[in-house]
Amino acid sequence: MDVDVVRSWITQDPDPQTANELGVLLERATAGGPEAHEARAELEDRFSGPLAFGTAGLRGALGGGPNRMNRAVVIRTTAGLAAWLTEQLGGAAPRVVIGYDARHGSARFAEDAAAVITGAGGRAMLMPSVGPTPVLAYAVRALEADAGVMVTASHNPKEDNGYKVYLGGRVVTDSGQGAQLVSPADAEIAARIDAVGALTDVPLPVDGWQVLDASITEEYIARVASLVPHGYARSLRIVYTPMHGVGAEVAVAALAAAGFTDVHVVAEQAEPDPEFPTVAFPNPEEPGALDLAFRLAQQVEADLVIANDPDADRCSVAVPAPGTVEGWRQLTGDEVGALLGKQSAISAAVSGHGVLASSVVSSRLLARIATSHGLEHRTTLTGFKWISRVPGLVFGYEEALGYCVDPQAVRDKDGISAAVRVALLASQLVDRGSTLLDVLDELALQHGLHATAPLTLRVSDVSVIGPAMQRLRESGPQSLAGSPVVRTIDLSAGEDGLPPTDGLVYLTARGDRAIIRPSGTEPKLKCYLEAVEPVSEQDRLPAARRAAAERLDQMKAELGALIGL
């Protein structure tokens, strides 16, 4: 720990709270006594290096110091971004739209970003209030902005915040216009951030930026509602939860504008709350996250449960399941991806062109759906920064509850437009006496049952993940669920036309698959498992599901033991 470096940071910190926080830690670290060792360790972590800026922007725990999310880091990052944008535009003033969610610090960070862009000679357009990430992504394209900044940590724990960057306007003009940044832009921006001098030299005007009015959100709502042709919405009772996030107002308005007015919002989770008091993790994928929604759904006899994550870019769906303990079954991201993919494929097939895309860790079912409709399918790396920039895209998804159903408007996952499209499909099926589960059965009979399941290994020390991946490269599984591994693909070599990424793929003789990769945003090693079971008769579906589920459980046990975390 370099005491002078810590003191220098404190003198430049524009936030009295984090400056005081660091001052107290420094005093404890240098005073000796039982608290000194712990304080020194904390300072060493906070000053172990800058919070890394990459294609996911910034994401980290709130607190003082360069390795935390705070005002000083946001100001420095935005100064670097402004310099890079100006350079890309040949000296012209960049246009940047800035949004923010309701997490701790988000509004202040967004205002700081607007001040830095203004002070650098750019035009900053600040969203009028807290709002969903998809609205910001929509605004980037709608306002022809050169960049967009969204202050959010999405579904991360309450202690975190983040800073996501979109590029468009005059900076990106191809199919990636309005999408999240990719390499080499991330490294170039990171270099400009590193080149920012003393923080006190960064101009921070107290005004001069534009605060957008509510019309930009109203335009987004109208666009989402247009995804349901007039008169196509049928009677449907929906339970909705924004998971203590910022999605409720926009999602309910979009559903209503599309014709779905019988919507019941989970009261305990309706208002934005950065403490996320009713959930252990504010992520619809986590066990128990939808318990309150299921309880309300039982009370009001709902037809459908829809949940957004806190910044509303993800969408989870659950359907009635009589005879089960909860009475509801949460669909997997792959199941919803198949349903929305089928819906998009039917529309695209009319015109005879369009591309469906999914990430490498998502189910292979979407590719079969695309082929059956005479459409092209593309596999991309994980993340919507890759999916959304596929040329000719009409629909894209990844298994982590992310769906892009309207790429012409939003080049990112959008949990609100996905919710509206799921509601449309469910309402049309109810009208015919059918269900979403029935459509999944039809897809299984046509293309084979594709069952997927995750195995997530959360760690407290991310340094153990690298050695675990290396052990797998040196001695991976020879068989999975009783079937020999016939092909191993190391994605770090850029196999199958994909850019290099840290991941391993194992394919078995039976056709099952396991993919193992480190999480890009959280301290996790993730395994994505898929079992494929041929089935051609309706009455054989239950047995096929049991067989696939047993193999998935066996793969989980085998890989968990092999990885050893």
Residues noted as catalytic: 154
Separation of alpha carbons 391 and 281, rounded Å: 35
- Are the C-beta atoms of 365 and 334 separated by less than 8 Å? yes
Distances (CA, A) of 142 to 120, 148, 274, 292: 23, 11, 29, 36
Burial 341-356 (b: 16+ CB within 10 A, else e): bbbbbeebeeeeebbb
Strand stretches in 259-298, DSSP E: 263-265
User: Quick check: 548 and 451 in contact, CB under 8 A?
Assistant: yes
Which H or E run includes 411? none
The dihedral through the CA atoms of 43, 49, 55, 57 has a sign that is positive
- Which amino acid, 415? G
Task: Render 499-511 in DSSP notation, one character per residue.
Answer: PP-S-EEEEETTS
Distance CA 360, CA 499 (A): 11
Spacing of C-alpha 32 from chain mean position: 44
**Strand 123-126, strand 95-100: pairing:** parallel
Alpha helices in 226-383 (DSSP H): 248-258, 291-300, 333-351, 365-372
Question: d(Cα 73, Cα 71) in Å, to the nearest integer?
Answer: 5
